[in-house]
Chain A
Amino acid sequence: MRLVYPLLVSALLFSIGVYGVLARRNAILVLMSVELMLNAVNLNLVAFDVWLGDGLRAGQVFALYIITIAAAEIGLGLAIILLVFRNRQTSDVDALRELGEYEHDRLVEEAAEAEQAIPRQAVREQAAAQ
């Protein structure tokens, strides 16, 4: 088999992942695109390992390690996204423009004024007022 085929598939997958990271707004979709890029790298590693016939099996072993690191990354990333969602009530990457927590109360007030459809925030505000 020609070595170019896996390399072409890998390059296309990596580019699609780059597009997804740059163009998607939902943070979980950004994580999915990062997974696409990691898988492209894995395909490259396996293809070059089989091509070289390395006795140490470095490429495949590193592909396994990258799969493990991707699992750890997705766990931590989801924990961070859930924390951000708990604090800001959104997982929209474009809406996260402030680093400080002091904007949180203003955002909650605005959301509660804008729509009554989120009863939890109204309950929280009442609890905070009492």
Chain B
Amino acid sequence: MTGVEVLFLLLGAVAVGAALLVVSSRNLVHAALWLVVTLGALAGCYLLLTAELVAWVQVLIYVGAVVVLLLFGLMLTRAPIGYSAEFTSGNRWMAAGVAGATAGVLVTVVGQAFGDAYVDVHAGVAGSSGAIGSAIFRYWVLPFEALSVLLLAALVGAIVLSRGGAASPGTDGTGIDGTGIDGSVTGSLAADQAGRVGDGAREGER
């Protein structure tokens, strides 16, 4: 067992253990922070597999952006910050059975299929940014463009979804807005009537 293998197994153990804490933690913020540990350990695994660009993109996008988005979501849904036992539903034993069966099947199949395969990680860097960049823009340009269109559509969709709740009738956001408009309209009508009454009173004085 070489040093690279030992390091990889240690990082894999960290990733799997932190993932177990993500799905079993009784504190929402702690679960998000353990997700950071899992994703960081996976970035280390990519580095050991000599996929440098993927590792740094993982650090930038997942650890830097996705987890921050998740923490924003936790804040905006006013999720309970403290410890609570209510984050795991009643069917956790069935879920554990399904997950255990999945793990058993995958580990058995993978172990039997690739038990004697070796990756040569000392042959050079397989995923330098130069190699990946030329591969993307030489062979994979069409998926790249399709992905940019998909990102634009997702951006527009997220904006429409977050704005649509206040614009459609029937939701409670418009209740306040409607009464606000009604209130201003009735207020202006009342002011108008008061002005007329005042005019009438002045004419009566004359």
Q: Give Cα A53 to B49, complex, Å.
A: 12
The answer to whether A2 touches B151 (Cβ under 8 A) is: no
A43 contacts across to B, CB distance below 8 A: 42, 45-46
Residues on A with C-beta less than 8 A from B143 are 61, 65
Task: Give Cα distance in the complex from A57 to B54, angstroms.
Answer: 12
In the complex, are the beta carbons of A71 and B16 less than 8 A apart?
A: no
Report A-chain residues with C-beta under 8 Å of the C-beta of B48.
1
Say whether A128 faces chain B, with CB atoms less than 8 Å apart.
yes
Does more than half of chain B's interface fall in helix, strand or loop, or is it mixed? helix
Q: How far is the CB of B56 from chain A (nearest CB, A)?
A: 11
Would you give the 0/1 interface string for A72-109, flagging 1 where the beta carbon is closer than 8 Å to chain B? 11111011111101110001011000000100100010
B11-52 near A? 1/0 per residue, CB < 8 Å = 010011001101100001001100100110010011011110
| A26 to B: closest C-beta gap in Å | 5
Minimum Cβ distance to chain B for residue A5 (Å): 6
Q: How large is the interface on A (under 10, 10 to 19, 20 to 34, 35 or more residues)?
A: 35 or more
Is A114 close to B, CB under 8 A?
Answer: no
Kindly count the residue-residue contacts between A and B in the assembled complex, taking CB atoms under 8 Å apart: 276
- Return A97 CB to nearest CB of chain B, in Å: 13
Binding site for A on B (CB under 8 A): 2, 4-5, 8-9, 12, 15-16, 19-20, 22-23, 28, 31-32, 35, 38-39, 42, 45-46, 48-51, 53-54, 57-58, 61-62, 65-66, 69-70, 72-74, 76-79, 86-89, 91-92, 94-96, 98-100, 102-103, 106-107, 110-111, 114-115, 117-119, 121, 123, 126-127, 131-132, 135-136, 139-140, 143-144, 147, 150-151, 154-155, 157-158, 161-162, 164-165, 170-173, 175-176, 179
Kindly list the 9 A-B residue pairs having the minimum CB-CB distance in the complex, ordered from nearest: A22-B95, A19-B99, A20-B23, A15-B103, A11-B106, A72-B154, A9-B12, A23-B95, A57-B135
Further pairs besides A17-B19, A25-B88, A51-B117: 14, Cβ < 8 Å:
A3-B114, A7-B114, A12-B19, A14-B102, A15-B106, A16-B99, A36-B38, A50-B121, A60-B51, A64-B57, A91-B77, A93-B89, A101-B170, A130-B179
